[in-house]
Amino acid sequence: MTAVPVWAQLVYLACAVGFILALKGLSGPRTARTGNLVGAAAAVIACAVPFFYVDLDHVVLILVAIAVGTVGGVVGARRVQMTQMPQMVALFNGVGGGAAALVALLELHEILEQPGGVDVVGWFVLVATAFTIFVGSVSFAGSVITFAKLQELMSSAPLVFPGLAIVFGASLVAGVGLATQLALSPAMWVGIVLALVGLLFGALLVLPVGGADVPIVISLLNAFTGLTVAAGGYVLDNVVLLVAGTLVGASGTFLTLLMAKAMGRSVSNILFGALKGGSTLGAGVASDRPVRSAGPEDVAIMLAYADRIIIVPGYGLAVAQAQHTLRELVDVLGERGADVDYAIHPVAGRMPGHMNVLLAEAQVPYEQLKEMDDINGDFKDADVVLVVGANDVVNPAAKTTPGAPIYGMPILNVDEAKQVVFMKRSMRPGFAGIENELLFEDHTTLLFGDAKDSMSKLLNAVKAL
């Protein structure tokens, strides 16, 4: 292994600091763009450094691979819709885990080819290699399944089959056994079989997870990828990989726990609930109970006479691409003297921060975006709350109905408002598959139709007043 010169170590240290600063920048919307650029610059520099002190083989192939990856990443990132951002995150995360596993396999091959290589590197490096191969493969396979679920290439419902729990447990035991054998008696075939078992385990881990819980699994797999990169950094004796992987692993773990808490669920229930024979979903049948509905003109009058208005955006808003029209509506209401804010639930959209990005794309001022804990006390003073494309995050069943799939999940206190307007395409329930009792309350009005079309009509009706 090539010794790392002092200048390269200093550059790696600077890159590691850049990653830390990038993570800090990503913690707020105002600094997120700068943080992202800092992190990207640090990654580019870290990748370039080995070309200046390592006697590399196959340089042409390496440069071709970098060029192909760069083109694919740039084109994919520019073409992806904001509503599909979680899919891209899942796919890129899976590629990272798969790359870490492949690098570990190559390092294993190099160790075995060198005379006395096993004795030189020691048992702990072999343990780290086995960990990287197995967990990296798990992350790759699991991320591909999450991508397919979110992209609707396969059913988003929990997929189970008889004996799934047995196969799942057997694959885990096989993975641990093969990893132990690789550490005690390393062989290339053991590493390859370990990778294949990891792919099977990763697929079985995600298949039983329902679509509403997939974003949490993406975050968990992201943490897995970070840990594999950190372990790979130990194997390669690369400090910058060790630091970057640890940051990703730690932040991904915290994010997973926070998302699960925001949904009132435990990570074990999300991953293994379907294996126990239960379901995290309700019946999912559209209700035929009577509700009070109105047209855009009636809702426009309600908004025009309201002093305090709160908007609750959901994923349906983004799917309908109605965020630009909504921003224009809010601007008009603001010009007429109304105090308008957006209430953002932690899991609004498909993952934390997703709704903020979708609204930022429509040039919504950051000052109007209020997190759940900051705005929940304001609903009782709101004249009108306009719910656009959200359902489960405002469902009072989370507070009043023990046994409901969402019971215990922190929600936006929309039920406390004086008037509530729901913009819905139909009476179908949200991801949890249960009725929202708020829809049937006396102070709730429904505006049916496609969100973009209804929002345009509502905007025109407000302008006409």
Mean pLDDT is lowest, of 24-38, 91-105, 240-254, 263-277, for 263-277
In 3D, which of 11, 8, 36 has the Cα closest to residue 21? 36
Phi and psi at residue 429, to the nearest 5°: -75, 175
Look at residue 281 and tell me whether its pLDDT is greater than 60. no
Listed ranges 112-121, 341-350, 386-395; the one with the highest mean pLDDT = 386-395
Look at residue 280 and tell me whether its pLDDT is greater than 70. no
Confidence of residue 188 (pLDDT cuts 50, 70, 90): very high
Q: Average the pLDDT over 393-419 and give the result.
A: 85
Mean pLDDT is lowest, of 154-168, 222-236, 267-281, 409-423, for 267-281
Using alpha carbons, list the distances in angstroms from residue 48 to 15, 66, 117, 198, 226: 11, 11, 28, 31, 21
In 3D, which of 181, 184, 206 has the Cα closest to residue 194? 181
Look at residue 155 and tell me whether its pLDDT is greater than 90. no
Confidence of residue 133 (pLDDT cuts 50, 70, 90): very high
Q: Are 405 and 280 in contact (CB under 8 A)?
A: yes
Look at residue 345 and tell me whether its pLDDT is greater than 50. yes
Q: Is 172 exposed, middle or buried (0-12, 13-18, 19+ CB in 10 A)?
A: middle
In 3D, which of 194, 273, 204 has the Cα closest to residue 228? 194
Q: How far is residue 133's CA from residue 231's CA, in Å, rounded to a whole number?
A: 10
If one counts every other C-beta atom within 10 angstroms of the C-beta of residue 278, the result is 12
Cβ neighbors of 314 (< 8 A, separation 6 or more) are 348, 349, 355, 387, 388, 389, 390, 391, 393
Q: How far is residue 376's CA from residue 366's CA, in Å, rounded to a whole number?
A: 18
Q: Is 157 exposed, middle or buried (0-12, 13-18, 19+ CB in 10 A)?
A: middle
Q: Are 264 and 408 in contact (CB under 8 A)?
A: yes
How many helices, marked H, and strands, marked E, lie in the chain?
A: 18, 6
Mean pLDDT is lowest, of 48-57, 84-93, 211-220, 245-254, for 211-220
Name the token pair of 300.
């426009």
Which residue out of 392, 415, 442, 453 is catalytically annotated? 392
Digit-coded pLDDT (tens) for 233-279: 988 888 889 999 999 999 889 888 887 877 666 777 777 766 655 44
Q: What is the DSSP letter of 280?
A: S
Mean per-residue pLDDT of the chain? 86
Which amino acid is located at 242 in the chain? L
Q: Average the pLDDT over 398-425 and give the result.
A: 85
pLDDT at 283: 47
Name the token pair of 395.
């469902």
Q: How far is residue 85's CA from residue 188's CA, in Å, rounded to a whole number?
A: 37
pLDDT at 362: 80
Q: Is 394 helix (H, G, I), strand (E, B) or coil?
A: helix
Q: Is 64 exposed, middle or buried (0-12, 13-18, 19+ CB in 10 A)?
A: exposed
Rounded to an integer, what is the distance from CA 440 to the centroid of its chain?
32
Confidence of residue 157 (pLDDT cuts 50, 70, 90): confident
Confidence of residue 224 (pLDDT cuts 50, 70, 90): very high
Which amino acid is located at 446 in the chain? L
Q: Are 312 and 415 in contact (CB under 8 A)?
A: no
What ranges in 207-314 are assigned the alpha helix state H? 214-236, 239-262, 267-272, 296-304
Q: Average the pLDDT over 197-220 and give the result.
A: 86
Q: How far is residue 274's CA from residue 257's CA, in Å, rounded to a whole number?
A: 19
Look at residue 285 and tell me whether its pLDDT is greater than 70. no
**Percentages helix, strand, coil for the chain, rounded to the nearest 5?**
65, 5, 30
% of the chain exceeding 90 in pLDDT: 46
Is 383 assigned a catalytic role? no
Q: Are 191 and 108 in contact (CB under 8 A)?
A: yes
Look at residue 1 and tell me whether its pLDDT is greater than 70. no
Mean pLDDT is lowest, of 50-54, 116-120, 390-394, for 116-120
Identify the bridge partners of residue 422 per DSSP, sorted by sequence position: 387, 446
Strand order in 308-313's β-sheet?
369-371, 339-344, 308-313, 384-388, 420-424, 444-448
Q: Are 148 and 263 in contact (CB under 8 A)?
A: no
Confidence of residue 129 (pLDDT cuts 50, 70, 90): very high
pLDDT at 437: 85
What residue ranges define each of the domains in the chain, with the CATH number in brackets? 80-276 (no CATH), 296-464 (3.40.50.1220)
- Per-residue DSSP letters for 115-177? TTHHHHH-HHHHHHHHHHHHHHHHHHHHHHHHHHHHTTSS--S----TTHHHHHHHHHHHHHH
Confidence of residue 191 (pLDDT cuts 50, 70, 90): very high
